[in-house]
Structure 1
Amino acid sequence: MAPAAPENSAPPAVSVIGIGADGWTGLPDASRAALRDAQVLIGGARQLALLPQRCTGQRVTWPTPLRPAVPALLTAHRGSRIAVLASGDPMFYGIGRALAETLGPDALHVLPHPSSVSYACARIGWPLEDTETVTLVGRPAARLAAALHDGRRLLVLSADAATPATVAALLRERGFGPSRMRVLEQLGGEHEDCTDGTADTWQHPPGDPLNVIAVDCRRAPDALRLGAVPGLPDAAYEHDGQLTKRHIRAATLAALAPAPGELLWDVGGGSGSIAIEWMRTHPSLRAIGVERDTARAARIARNADRLGVPGLRVVEGRAPAALAGLPAPDAVFIGGGLTVPGLLDACWDALPTGGRLVANTVTLESEALLAARHRRHGGDLVRLAVAHAVPVGGFTGWRQAMPVTQWSVTKNPRTPLAARAPGDNA
């Protein structure tokens, strides 16, 4: 038997009710009871219009933009029985997240409805666990590019009726024009519909704004193949020569060891390849690219957009001054400017205990600096050399690229004495 609740425990302050295109008739009894009992009903205009008159609470439409308005709106109706309407499952890309972050999860009573993703998979016979979902609601369409792989199945949550045409154009531009697209509208409602076609031939006019797009990803034969791990082809990037080359890039990302939710500083961003491939390894990863050159900073943003991580933040400025005020990183990569006074110290000081720093260089001066830091802090000091086969007359030989010296280290609470060389003041 469960223990009795404390006498002073309060019921959840807010009921969060998922509702579908089928409206009131599709709601279970518990959801209907919460809506009838509510003194204040908050939701989008379309959702509120689905409720019958016997839901007598004051109807309040969400303002725009929604997210910043949540705390003030809840405060304005404190003490009332509040019910918030959400499309489908409130905790799946819905308002439930904002409410939980504002009030705390214990203050919510969430009554979900089948999500549009569940409905879509049921209609087209896709296993939900094998289908990736990408939302474009309030997010740039470019983020879809990171999920494009031949043979994958995607469900795209649309922002509005124009989203399918936007998705079709992006698929064509990224070399996935042969992909099949199905736009499923008003899922679960009496006006449910499906429009079918391919991105290459998509000319359908905008339909219902309440839609989900199912994409069977098919890469065009001549499109550049982009893998799911670091080490994308150099041709994937727009650059002026300031690019960490493919094999060195893969080794650098392995040393940085990204984990979900972490933040990277990419100092001396060049073309942005390290920050971009850091973010491509998991959708929750974040990165800030710091670049002093205006043209290169703009190029980083273009590369990030094209490769599906438009959330990459680009800071134009000269480090270390440009690092001031940035959120603390979990990892730092230094790809240039190691000899700038104070740069390495500023990056090291910004790292929390357990944070990682990786620095690459091809010059003797910077290599000496990294060797001194290796003596002081430990870590791994390696030299990476890559050679490519090239024509030599009628034969084939090796052309050696400039070797790269790499120092990688994890910041510990204190540096072991064994790692500090006598007389080392670096």
Structure 2
Amino acid sequence: MYNFGINDEEFIRGKVPMTKAEIRAMVMVKAKIRPEDTVADIGAGTGSISIEAALAAFNGNVYSIERNPDGIQLIRENANKFGCENIHTITGTAPEAMDELPPLDVIIIGGSSGNMHEILDRCEALLKKGGRIILTAVTAETTGEIVREFDGRAFRLEGFQMQINRLKKLGHYHLYNPLSPVFIFTAEKVEEEL
């Protein structure tokens, strides 16, 4: 078993956004990925969450969906670096890029490209009963959209905001260096609409 929250510096990075270690660790805690799970990472960016998911689902599979070709290249490079042969990259925009996915245990959504409603419709069809969708939001608009989108769907929705401050040394002092706050949602699929 590995520890969640690989140091950010461990990843090969370009100009593609990356979820920071503390947020990744909490996403993984909420995802509750088991060794044999099948996971989708939608809006995978550099693949940092895909790597963490692949290490947790070491007997399963992770499908990384990313529309940016630079991101796809970084996902492949990071998968190679961390020895994650169970990561499958898909270049494209969700929900269309989700067409060939198998039934899923966990879906992690880090970006929707404005297609949240359609993506969640597809997730609802692909997700096994008891499966989980983990969503991260960095804007107030996305946070509100997620809450509205799950109204009436057969999911149990929970959420909270995380604010991370890292210490930064300045002379003899340590300053608080804030990262942008992130809202993390967990939606568990249930049998009928709530």
TM-score by length of 1: 0.43
Higher strand share: 2
Offset of residue 342 of structure 1 = 1.3
Residue number in structure 1 paired with 2:188: 410
Q: Does 1:322 align with 2:97?
A: yes
Residue identity opposite 1:403 in structure 2: P
**Hey, what does 2:8 align to over in structure 1?**
234
Question: What displacement does 1:345 show?
Answer: 2.2
Q: CA–CA distance in 2 between the matches of 1:387 and 1:302?
A: 29
2:158 aligned residue: 380
Equivalences for residues 208-223 of structure 1 within 5 A: none
Cα distance in 2 between the residues matched to 1:399 and 1:254: 24
C-alpha distance in 2, partners of 1:257/1:243?
Answer: 21
CA RMSD of aligned residues (A): 1.8
- Who is 1:331 aligned against? 106
Which entry has the higher C-alpha Rg, 1 or 2? 1
CA contact (8 A) 1:371 1:381 kept: no
1:401 aligns with 2:176: no
Q: How does 1:175-194 map to 2 (within 5 A)?
A: none
| Secondary structure of 2:75's aligned partner | helix
State the partner residue of 2:43. Answer: 268
What secondary structure, in the 3-state scheme, does the structure 1 residue paired with 2:2 have? coil
CA shift at 1:308, angstroms?
Answer: 1.2
**CA deviations over 1:70-112 (Å, ceiling 9, x no partner):** xxxxxxxxxxxxxxxxxxxxxxxxxxxxxxxxxxxxxxxxxxx
Contact 2:156–2:190, Cα closer than 8 Å, also in 1: no
CA shift in 2, pair 1:298/1:241, >3 Å: closer
CA contact (8 A) 1:278 1:285 kept: no
Number of the residue aligned with 1:47:
none
The size of the alignment, in residue pairs, is 190
Higher relative contact order (CA 8 A, sep 6+): 2
Deviation string for 1:304-327 (max 9, x for gaps)? Answer: 011011231000011111111211
Q: Deviations over 1:219-257 (max 9, x none)?
A: xxxxxxxx8222111111112351111010000011110
Q: What residue is the counterpart of 2:21 in the other structure?
A: 246
Q: Per the alignment, do residues 314 and 367 of structure 1 end up closer, same or farther by CA in structure 2, a change over 3 Å counting?
A: same
Q: Does 1:298 align with 2:73?
A: yes
Shift of 1:302: 0.8
List gaps (5 residues or longer) in structure 2. Answer: none
Match of 1:224 in 2: none
Deviations 1:343-367 (A, max 9, x none): 2222233212111100001011111
Provide the rounded CA distance (Å) in 1 between the counterparts of 2:177 and 2:128: 41
State which of 137, 147, 154 in structure 2 corresponds to 1:361: 137
The one-letter amino acid of 2:101's match is: L
SS at match of 1:405: strand
Q: Conserved in 1, the CA contact under 8 Å of 2:43 and 2:67?
A: yes
Q: Tell me, in whole angstroms, the C-alpha distance in 2 between the residues paired with 1:299 and 1:396.
A: 33
Conserved 8 A contact 1:229-1:281: no
For residue 310 of structure 1, what is the aligned residue in structure 2?
85
AA partner of residue 412 (structure 1) = V
Residues 280-338 of structure 1, C-alpha deviation per residue, up to 9 Å, x if partnerless? Answer: 12520210000111111011011001101123100001111111121121110001126
Aligned residues with identical type, % of pairs: 24
1:30 is aligned to none
